[in-house]
Structure 1
Amino acid sequence: MPSVKAFSLLLLMLLAATAQASTLRCGSALISHGDDTQEVLDKCGTPISQDFLGYREVVDYYGFHTEVEVEEWSYGPRNGMYHFLRFEGNRLVRITSKRGR
């Protein structure tokens, strides 16, 4: 029967395959959720790819439905990691990282 230690190690390895964070360091600058696309460009430079993913419907504070553009920008490799930034309505909503190919 596998030990708890072995199971914990396996779970940790699976979680490490794709990591999600709320901040990302670009040189000496830091970007985080809520930053706009221009701020990310200023701090991190031009991404290796910018992919338009489509539109997403969001509901604002007042209950109005609006469609916003969804984009994914890719940076890397930096120390063997690729970083993927998802923007909705020109605001950073998700940062994920994955070990290089």
Structure 2
Amino acid sequence: MLKPLATTLLLSLCCASAQAGSTLRCGSQLISTNDLASEVLSKCGEPVSRDFLGYREVVDYYGFASEVPVEEWTYGPKNGMYYFLRLEGNRLIKIDSKRKN
């Protein structure tokens, strides 16, 4: 009885910490994964750089495959940090950060 409860608690803590890394504050605005590229631009402004990384194949619910563009947008430095936003098919899918060297 106690073991399933402990496992559930541990999993929810892991998920909560993963969720915390999927948002970024831009001034008084907040962006999150799954936001549209236009939302990111309106809230954060133009990035320092936009790198086109190529295309990624995605398969939809019905089994149809299509290619979507993959980009990485860089913001910063902000308090010594750079922020790297990965967009696939016009959606924000990942937010990473790295301290300036």
Tell me the TM-score range normalised by the shorter chain. Answer: 0.7 to 0.9
The root-mean-square deviation of aligned C-alpha atoms, in Å, is 1.1
2:68 equivalent in structure 1: 68
The TM-score normalised by the length of structure 1 is 0.78
3-state secondary structure, aligned to 2:46: coil
Q: Distance in 2 between matches of 1:72 and 1:29?
A: 20
Structure 1 moving runs of 4+ over 6 Å: none
3-state secondary structure, aligned to 2:62: coil
Q: Identity, % of aligned pairs?
A: 71
How far did 1:38 drift? Answer: 0.6
The size of the alignment, in residue pairs, is 82
The TM-score normalised by the length of structure 2 is 0.78
Q: Distance in 2 between matches of 1:80 and 1:52?
A: 25
3-state secondary structure, aligned to 1:31: strand
Structure number with greater CO (CA < 8 Å, separation at least 6) is 1
Cα distance per residue 1:47-71 (max 9 Å; x no partner): 0000000000011122111100000
If each structure's helix is expressed as a fraction of its own residues, which one has the higher value? Answer: 2
Q: Which runs of 5+ in 1 are unaligned?
A: 1-19
Q: Distance in 1 between matches of 2:32 and 2:54?
A: 22
Q: Which runs of 5+ in 2 are unaligned?
A: 1-19
